[in-house]
Amino acid sequence: APFAHHATPKNKLIAPFVNEVSVNTIFLYAGIATLSILFLYAIKPILYVKRKQNEPPIVPYWIPFIGSAITMGLDPIKFYRKYQQEYGNYFTFILLGRRMVTCLGTEGNNFVFNAKLADASAEAAYKSLTVPVFGKGVVYDVHNSVLMEQKKFVKSGLSNENLRAYVPMIEMETKNYFSRWDKKSDIQDVHKAAAELIIMTASKCLLGDEVRSKLDESFAQIFHDLDGGFKPVNFLFDDLPLPSNKLRDQAHVKMRNFFMDIMKDRREKGITDRTDIMQYLTTNCQYKSGKKLSDEESAHIMIAMLMAGQHTSSTTTAWALLYLAARPTLFNELRQEQIDILGSLHEPLTFDAIKKLTLHDNVVRETLRLRPPILNIIRKVLRDLPIPGTQYVVPKDSYIQSVLAVSHRSEGYFESAETFNPNRWIDFDQNNKERDDDLVDYGFGVLHRASAKSPFLPFGAGRHRCIGEPFAYVQIKTIIAVFVRMFDLALHENTFPECDFTSMIVQPKSSLVQYTKRDN
């Protein structure tokens, strides 16, 4: 009761005041909200990208500038498939202020890969990422016509004659490497093993014995620091003052000098009998202008090759072994194929035998179909660019991109597209013969122009097509051939790993396997 007595007058005093405050506050908030809406509406054209007339549809997004970076980054394939269903093969999404025009299906692939030089540029898209790593005077730091000549040099250096010499080297390196898996059975990380083995075999074959012999010491650290510069943020921004970029720049100088010292040393000692690319570049290469390839350019090309092949081939090898681990019967089939071609599992591997190992080939192909290491192929658009067969025009300064994994994993092109089935390739080439009247040579060998319309393009197409494919196949197939002779494999805890999309190359999130040593 006493409290009730006090409460009444107090409430009487406060109540009108509270009511007044509430009304004022409501008006105040309403005013702020209206002004904010008006303000946001006024600055919307500044904050949000406005769709131009005839531009492909823009995927809606909430956060200005960031755009769809987060939703796309979480699961790119899901993202692209979702908007493909909604908009068709061409749509734009905003990525940190950039217009990324996604071009899907075989026509979309063809649009990106066969874009004319005056319309779209790879160097404008990749320069900030690659020039500090590879160095000046090569690849995306030079006019496209110079790149074409440099690609021709490398392609000629990867001749069948040289590849023939590489197979026994890769076989030996692989046997030596896996001799460290010496328990009868154990758990090991197959991606770590593939990465170490790919750099060992690539160094031995392409860069030479001198580089290979330093791999366990100084060279490994230089490679690691240089590789640290190969990250998505450097694709988006020019020369950020990051500690990793400082290390990258120091490592670049060290690696270039290291290669150039070896070149000088070989010259002084009169060494000319090597089968590596260093030998080829420093003795056989002259531009059409008559200028010889300089040692610095040779060193930079060697860095570019090392970087282009390392993560692509090592993740492919890791994924292939993971797919095999999920299908133990394939191990027996692969071994049987080797016995059929070579006579026994004890015969040394040769280039000619490797070429005949069709199932091994199809395992690699099928892995590249489901897990193409390079997710997006990107070009910067140099002038407003109409998309043939549509009413769309891509505005100048946008980026066009092809996403290989979408056509690779599309039911429209591949039956049971999500299933790993190496045998699907048995008749593929027969059924997809290219016409011989549509040939084109950009300067590094004849290509089928129409090949850019294939739904399967793990090595790209057109003027920027990969020239490392024959080496990659020889390397990966030889490693797998040796591996199946030595081990059987099962997935760790029976789980096939998911994709990690956060780095430049699509990697397995986990890569543990249970191996069992075979008694041969």
Q: Which residues bind ligand HEM (CB under 6 A)?
A: 122, 147, 151, 305, 308-309, 312-313, 316, 373-374, 377, 458-460, 464, 466-468, 471-472
Print the SS3 string covering 188-216.
EEHHHHHHHHHHHHHHHHHHCHHHHHCCC
* Nearest distance in Å: CB 155, ligand HEM: 9
Print the SS3 string covering 267-300.
HHHCCCCCCCHHHHHHHHCECCCCCECCHHHHHH
* Nearest distance in Å: CB 120, ligand HEM: 11
> Judged by CB, which is closer to ligand HEM: 455, or 492?
455
- Chain residue whose CB lies nearest ligand HEM: 468
Q: How far apart are CA 119 and CA 384, in angstroms?
A: 8
* Nearest distance in Å: CB 277, ligand HEM: 8
* Nearest distance in Å: CB 470, ligand HEM: 9
* Nearest distance in Å: CB 183, ligand HEM: 30
Q: How far apart are CA 384 and CA 393, in angstroms?
A: 6
* Nearest distance in Å: CB 346, ligand HEM: 29
Place of tokens 């699509």: 506
* Nearest distance in Å: CB 216, ligand HEM: 22
> Judged by CB, which is closer to ligand HEM: 304, or 482?
304
CB 84 within 8 A of CB 406: yes
> Judged by CB, which is closer to ligand HEM: 58, or 154?
154
* Nearest distance in Å: CB 272, ligand HEM: 22
184, 498, 359, 350 alpha-carbon torsion, rounded to 10°: -60
Q: How far apart are CA 232 and CA 72, in angstroms?
A: 14
> Judged by CB, which is closer to ligand HEM: 142, or 247?
142
Identify the DSSP state of 505.
B
Name the residue type at position 237.
F
CB 326 within 8 A of CB 320: no
> Judged by CB, which is closer to ligand HEM: 13, or 118?
118
The number of residues making up the chain comes to 520
> Judged by CB, which is closer to ligand HEM: 49, or 401?
401
CB 121 within 8 A of CB 464: no
> Judged by CB, which is closer to ligand HEM: 49, or 318?
318
> Judged by CB, which is closer to ligand HEM: 158, or 489?
158
Bridge partners of residue 508, in order along the sequence: 499
Place of tokens 């009868």: 184
* CA nearest to 362, candidates 325, 320, 415, 319: 320
Assigned token pair, 274: 């090597």
